[in-house]
Amino acid sequence: MNTSKHFGLALAAVLLLACVPAFAGASVVDKLTTLFIYMLLATTWNLMAGYAGLVSVGQQAFFGLGGYFALRLVDGGLPAYPALLAGALGAALLAWVMSFYVLRLKDGEFAIGTWVVAEVIRILVMLDPLIQGETGTSLIALNAVEPELRRSVGYWFALAALAGMALAMAVLLRSHVGTAAKAIGDDDAAAASLGVRVLRTRQAIYVLAAFGAALAGVAWLASAITFLPRTNFGVQWSVLMLFMVLVGGLRSGPGPYIGALLLFALQELMGDFGAWYLAGLGAAAAGCALFLPQGLWGALSPHLSRLVTRPLVSPVSTPQERTAP
């Protein structure tokens, strides 16, 4: 199937999903909004770790910063919904500044360093009188919007963010930056020896992934309205990203979406069981690590390829073939 057909199917799916609030109940809309946020987080983390070799444990910094900047902008007089997008852009701008420092760290140092930076940012945000420490605050401006409309707009915002980020990543991965990122993910030293600009390429990937995490953060804020530093800057977001990508399939297109769907299903089925839900996540991750090292998509794709290429009608044998011994 060529690229134009893929794009046409994706566009049709987005348009169909955009119609969901017109006929679905509030519960369905809220659950799908959460699923879109999970998918957005998973795909952007996969972009970093799978293609550029940047295993971050600090993406929650941008998830929380997007919401924090939006709150600050609304407090300064900007309307709520434009502030959400501006907050995500502000987080991406800060990520660009941070990239000159954190991208000089290697492997495990980078992973730990990003987590430390995220914790420092959380503490600094809590010192802001607007946030009120652990108490947190709310995006009160959204309370003026009728609840059903607010729910629908939050849904459309999350869907548009996911679709836009998926398109941006597809374009990037087909460009020279994507080719360089794949080379860096395989071996950054070898890529550098061939003339690849490692730092600049990783900066582009890092900033785009940070923007995606910030979009997820403001979509979450638009849905939940409340902003709690422990929640919005919680390391659980990075843990969930890692789970979704590793279970779904690292460095694959559909893998993160499959991982997000599995996480969502486990939450729906086992979310009320407390510790058993966490045990279910751990068991699923351990099972994939042991038996499916390439994730669910890595295990399914060969079978799907055979189904697609298998002829629908068996070839008719010639008379010579029928009489052959």
pLDDT per residue as tens digits for the range 52-104: 889 999 999 999 999 999 999 999 999 999 999 999 999 999 999 999 999 99
List the chain domain ranges: 24-234, 236-308
SS3 content of the chain, % helix, strand, coil (to 5): 80, 0, 20
Regions of the chain short of the pLDDT cut 50: 312-314, 316-325
Find the distance separating the first CA and the last CA of the chain, reported in whole Å.
40
Residue-wise pLDDT for 126-137, tens only, equals: 999 999 888 889
Asked if residue 191 lies in contact with residue 184, where contact means CB atoms within 8 angstroms, the answer is: yes
d(CA 304, CA 310): 10
Q: What number of other Cβ atoms are within 10 A of residue 137's Cβ?
A: 18
Q: What is the pLDDT of residue 208?
A: 95
Q: Which residues have a Cβ under 8 Å from the Cβ of 257 and sit 6 or more positions away? A: 39, 42, 43, 248
- Residues 189, 170: Cα–Cα separation, whole Å: 25
What's the confidence (pLDDT) of residue 314? Answer: 46
**pLDDT for 305:** 61
pLDDT in tens, 290-309: 788 788 887 877 766 665 55
pLDDT, residue 316, reads: 47
| CA–CA separation, 186 and 194 (whole Å) | 13
239's tokens: 């843990």
pLDDT at position 60, please? 95
Q: What is the reported pLDDT for 50?
A: 87
Q: How many helices (H) and strands (E) does the chain have?
A: 17, 2
pLDDT score at 308: 52
Q: Which of 194, 193, 214 is nearest to 87 (CA)?
A: 214
The position carrying tokens 């995500």 is: 88
Q: How many CA atoms lie within 13 A of 251 on its CB side?
A: 16
